[in-house]
Structure 1
């Protein structure tokens, strides 16, 4: 059988066979699609399901959905009227369908150890009635000439040039780059680093499902991220807008040993850089380690000039073995080719599984006759999507064979197996495992005689794969892409002013990505941002927040000027506060009531014109906010009047500094002449028996505002005022409260004290008979909250003296009996002004000494 097949390879007369060879980016695939669409029917075999799906979508746009079929091991879209077949190489129906045009892509894969025999068979036997096209690298040219007599060779030059760019640090790799690694661990590590300082990267690996790979590639192609981290899976036909390819290493494990990449393999991957007429560059990452992490000069020359050592052998395996017995089948699959250009294919996993199960008696005994052997071989050819090795894969195949040898798999059983995998929770590795498993069941469901209700089960498997792929894409995006950083890194250049910046409530969004919050006029970086992102976010804020701050400042100025302006700003502990944020502070000014407005540093980011307008509005607001202090302001202005005189000026300054209230003995009011006392009354100052005070200042709001001003000016301010300014207070909790006079155990409000004393004086004026005195009923004072003891103390302070022993009051259980009082004017000595002593070093010092 093998010799017959080899003979047929030699004797086939090719009809219009053309080999289009050249490096990547020569338009070979595009040419094949154009040629196929020019024929009445056609078929192209691709190395990847992902690439087949991409071409299928393109041909559907040209020929219509009903005219194009997609045939792969896991997916089969085959309309009845389909005339154009897009397939993976293994799924090409070479013997079943006669097509006018046939093409095989990436023919140099005939030298691949695992799949090479499939591509070799397609190269030898896949023929179109009218035209056949072999696409691949120039390295396969000698073997194509030898194996396909009469073939027409067309060499196509690369559209763009490739240039070696040397080694770069990962942080220096330019945007629109692909970083190629050769293990999932290295891919993840590089993607994580790119996330930290470049916003992340899309991830493409052979272990991902086609749908997940498509979604990740779309992230890169759309420009959402500028970096792609991939295994060498991107080297096979994926069309990407890559400008630079950086190799994280130049060696890989090929399934048997760890080896350095061949120059052709390097060129296949590096060729992803530069598409169409755009040139590309390639290089390595510094610090990737190993003595083989840099390109050799001869390798650089070969890649740049597209000069590679030609292939000398293609792998071959009998494509039509006999199925008389398991022994005959294995013997045919291991037969050696008789052509010098062909080499026996290394033992692929399907043959390894076949031989392993053939040695197991309980399995081999169930395989009898031509039909059973053929069916068993089809089961052994189930791809090892899970990549768990021969041992694990053999057990899965054995279980599958036990279910298939007597007929088809039941729909309920297959549905149950698929349902077990329909779970989108878990981490990246877990989802990858489920996708690999569901791909196995998708492959099983596609077989024509393996599953009952095949179409329904195949649709279910595809739906589960789609859901798992979406979940995996989400996990990869969540782990390796920081959309916010990616957007900002892309746009923080010369075109940063074109960014879309908006404010939602207090959240700042740049290009739709949350970067922080605007509280008042202070930008606060998102607390969830990584430390490495903070500098980037602050830079974004600096470039893009000025116009938001300008709008906010202008709006606040209008609010302050409007009806609700008084409520917009609050004065808290010497600071002007809006939206819980400080806008300005008050600093000591010319006097206690004229503080300076010092803008907060957060206003520095507001454009100058708007900032000046806002500060002016704040100063205007402060003038309005000082209305409770209008009586003190009036006193302050009067103290600077020319006709005030030194005594009145000193008294007014004292009242201003003490919040409009002071003990009478501390003010020197008794030294004032009648005219100045009249001026004092006009200014609203009440001269009481014990205290001077401005009645309008005995309000909580006025006292609290004065306390803030006093604290700013460095003056003693006393404790907080009583919220409701009750007539009396217990002294132990409110000692020295502003607006109150201490009576020992109680405090009495100044105006209440003056009212009680005025009533006492009025009664005295009507009833005083010298030595007999007069009676004072304490009921009025008690109704205001004073005890009789506190009332008696108040009277004594004002010059009233009791004539009845104080013990009589203590005898009563209720209100004490009235006490007889008399009044004597308090002694207030008005000290004459003494002249200042002469200076000791002056002329009058000697005269004074002589006088003494």
Structure 2
């Protein structure tokens, strides 16, 4: 291997924390030379620097050399490489090694140590890295001139914060793909989305994700520690979701210097940055925070080293030379890397031994063993692939068979699947891209380089789209960006109520309410509502205007008081000053003009009032008559009480008042539609389904009952009593509670007629139960007994209906006289109730019936005929 150990070129070490412009300085110095090469720690960073140099010097002058990608024009003068892929036989004027502190890394450190000690430019060499490398550089490279650079901006600690409370332009750092995906999913649900950056992404996917973040389409970046290696993004805050990572052998806590390398991504040039903890990361120790803020870290004391002068004369000599220890105390023999372990495993294979009898065979095997383990599989699986490749390379053809290589690529040339599947395919493609870029591994390197690049690009684009679908709500992001920029956005509402903003469907206008298409996400719902409000206001005002002109036939009242128009809810009934005058509350329409809302609400209240006047006209006439001159005395009081109870009274509650009514008062009540029955005083018109439903609904709303309106099935003569509802609720729908059941008013009177007819056929007012009675009520015999008991009847003789044996005989109970009303002087009239004075009136008993002279004793003893119901 050719080295540049003895050149006389200047050696400069530019050391300092992040955001000191070290990489920028090295690129500028390289471009000032006739030729140059820079070794970088990441393929992603190499691609970023390559694009920058191409813009400055043109594509023909710049080469990109990484393990999986080689773009090397014939006229290339500037080589942008990963550290492992640097072509060591080039003689260029300038060489720079970036992030030289990685020379202490257990996995890759020996590569950076080798480049730092042996790679030299003919005119200038620059070593870029952390200040912790200063003492060892002075010791190992005494001729180096060390420049310590200061950070352009301040880095300060802000403490822990919830993921949902992180500031915009934050990078959230985790150390596994599972953690990154989980956090990105949470940020999508709660903050609108996040871009994802991991070391395993292809440059194409990574650039697309970074552009997503840089453009402001999303405000958050979820990444691994890959962002700590010089990737330039506009990050204001770095939040650590974890402080421990798996380093290939064990899970360990990151050192202060490693945390500082990542935290230092916050702030750009002169803009200050902050860092803190979030998610499951515990609070940082105050001493750790102080060291990160002040960039004070213990110096590196050991560098990882592996013998660069390998003896390839035999397989055993190669293994021995790889194990050779360093000759300087500052250098430490690196632990076996994957290439060494693969070589040691294959060295015990007799067939491998046969094919490595020559130096060319040994070199070929070592070349194959240096295939990176992109797939992250077991050692045996990786060694098996390396063995297969070596056997092909040392076979008769001397290269990888086209059909074998094509078979592997065909299995990967698919863009279906989710994020994990696409990412796994990409890692496998990197293996074959590495093989394609080895000039002597294939018969047609140019073809296979192109083929692997096409597959990688297709998978990269598909992965980017999947990441977008999974972790970014592009619609919400665009709307949030428009709101943040305070610019006017193009919005509209279709005739079907579909609302669009900036071409995105954002929801639907249902009646007067906007229903955002946010699938329960709080942030998305707020963003969509805010973005759509300007488009909705004119349409809501138009609908309010139309609602202020609707006719009664155009609106529908729901069971719970909802008012629907054109099939959509627009308002609901609420308690008003009295049951028959409910108030109306609009559903939605908050963004409508106040005047338009008031007009629509007033119009709906008028329609409700008109509906009540039409369907409940008998009840309203009852109130008007009680307030006016149409009724007087007892009739007026009874009418008022009927109005207050919803149009009906049990006769037992007003039995004395009914007995005291004069014939003219009875006629006046009958003229108002009042039926004076044996058991109920009621308005038959209110039993009709439409009137009963509205009456029940309005009374429930006035009482604050939020349950749906109670409406029995049409045609029921009785129904099981609902003990969760009051007797007034039953009366409002035309049913009187009677023991276990509630019986419809008219059916109750028909039962009274049947009992009256049965009593006339027997002595002493007795009657027998008949099947006709249970058929009329639609109930069982046991329920009939309960109903009769509630109606003040008692069983006189046990038995059964006629068809089953002896009759069951019942009789009316002897009623207990009601307490005499208080004297007028003992009652204080309620001045607010014009009918309260009636409670203090006393009524003389009706005069005794006069018998004409000359009548017989039988006529004198004859009782007057019983009045039928309604008389």
Aligned 1:187-336 pairs, distance under 5 A: 187-285=180-278, 287-288=280-281, 294-297=284-287, 299-336=288-325
1:38 counterpart residue number: 32
TM-superposed deviation, 1:88: 1.1
* SS at structure 2 position matched to 1:310: coil
2:67 alignment partner, one of 63, 73, 80 = 73
TM-superposed deviation, 1:393: 0.9
Aligned 1:77-476 pairs, distance under 5 A: 77-95=71-89, 97-285=90-278, 287-288=280-281, 294-297=284-287, 299-406=288-395, 407-476=398-467
Q: Structure 2: how far apart are the matches of 1:585 and 1:304? A: 60
Q: Structure 2: how far apart are the matches of 1:400 and 1:427? A: 30
Unaligned stretches of 5+ in structure 2?
637-646, 648-663, 668-687, 700-710, 715-822, 826-839, 851-871
| CA contact 2:512–2:587 (8 Å) conserved in 1 | no
Q: Deviations over 1:157-216 (max 9, x none)?
A: 111111122333434433322222233333334334434433343333333333333333
* SS at structure 1 position matched to 2:269: coil
Q: Structure 1: how far apart are the matches of 2:436 and 2:374? A: 15
2:44 alignment partner, one of 34, 50, 72 = 50
* SS at structure 1 position matched to 2:117: helix
Q: Structure 1: how far apart are the matches of 2:406 and 2:712? A: 82
User: Is residue 604 of structure 2 the alignment partner of residue 610 of structure 1?
Assistant: no
TM-superposed deviation, 1:465: 1.7
TM-superposed deviation, 1:139: 1.7
Q: 1:460 to 1:608 in 2, by over 3 A?
A: same
Q: Structure 2: how far apart are the matches of 1:308 and 1:617? A: 76
Q: 1:312 to 1:576 in 2, by over 3 A?
A: closer
Q: Deviations over 1:822-850 (max 9, x none)?
A: xxxxxxxxxxxxxxxxx999999999999
TM-superposed deviation, 1:269: 1.3
Q: 1:390 to 1:537 in 2, by over 3 A?
A: closer
* SS at structure 1 position matched to 2:313: coil
Q: Which moved more, 1:579-588 or 1:161-170?
A: 579-588
Q: Structure 1: how far apart are the matches of 2:304 and 2:630? A: 118
Q: Which moved more, 1:192-201 or 1:393-402?
A: 192-201
| CA contact 2:36–2:94 (8 Å) conserved in 1 | yes
TM-superposed deviation, 1:595: 7.7
* SS at structure 2 position matched to 1:167: coil
* SS at structure 1 position matched to 2:588: helix
| CA contact 1:496–1:543 (8 Å) conserved in 2 | no
Q: Structure 2: how far apart are the matches of 1:843 and 1:483? A: 79
TM-superposed deviation, 1:486: 5.9
| CA contact 1:114–1:348 (8 Å) conserved in 2 | yes
* SS at structure 2 position matched to 1:45: strand
Q: Structure 2: how far apart are the matches of 1:356 and 1:575? A: 78
Q: Structure 1: how far apart are the matches of 2:577 and 2:181? A: 66
Q: Deviations over 1:533-565 (max 9, x none)?
A: 24x455456655554443123323666799x99
TM-score between the two structures when normalised by the length of structure 1: 0.68
Q: Which moved more, 1:332-341 or 1:350-359?
A: 332-341
Aligned 1:619-768 pairs, distance under 5 A: none
TM-superposed deviation, 1:606: 2.6
| CA contact 1:501–1:510 (8 Å) conserved in 2 | yes
* SS at structure 2 position matched to 1:142: helix
* SS at structure 1 position matched to 2:515: strand
Q: Deviations over 1:209-260 (max 9, x none)?
A: 3333333333332333333232222211111222222223333332233333
| CA contact 1:163–1:280 (8 Å) conserved in 2 | yes
* SS at structure 2 position matched to 1:365: helix
Q: Structure 2: how far apart are the matches of 1:264 and 1:412? A: 49
Q: 1:542 to 1:355 in 2, by over 3 A?
A: closer
Q: 1:550 to 1:232 in 2, by over 3 A?
A: closer
TM-superposed deviation, 1:571: 7.8
1:598 counterpart residue number: 584
1:552 counterpart residue number: 539
Q: Structure 2: how far apart are the matches of 1:559 and 1:109? A: 73
TM-superposed deviation, 1:339: 3.1
* SS at structure 1 position matched to 2:456: helix
TM-superposed deviation, 1:572: 8.0
| CA contact 1:584–1:597 (8 Å) conserved in 2 | no
Q: 1:622 to 1:402 in 2, by over 3 A?
A: same
Superposed CA RMSD:
5.0
Q: Structure 2: how far apart are the matches of 1:588 and 1:482? A: 43
Q: Structure 2: how far apart are the matches of 1:232 and 1:359? A: 38
TM-superposed deviation, 1:567: 9.6
Q: 1:335 to 1:709 in 2, by over 3 A?
A: closer
TM-score between the two structures when normalised by the length of structure 2: 0.66
Q: Structure 1: how far apart are the matches of 2:486 and 2:175? A: 36
TM-superposed deviation, 1:29: 1.1
Q: Deviations over 1:420-479 (max 9, x none)?
A: 112233343333322111100010011101112211211111221222223333333333
Q: 1:585 to 1:150 in 2, by over 3 A?
A: closer
2:818 counterpart residue number: none
| CA contact 1:560–1:566 (8 Å) conserved in 2 | no
* SS at structure 1 position matched to 2:539: helix
Q: Which moved more, 1:240-249 or 1:502-511?
A: 502-511
Q: 1:595 to 1:541 in 2, by over 3 A?
A: farther
TM-superposed deviation, 1:276: 0.8
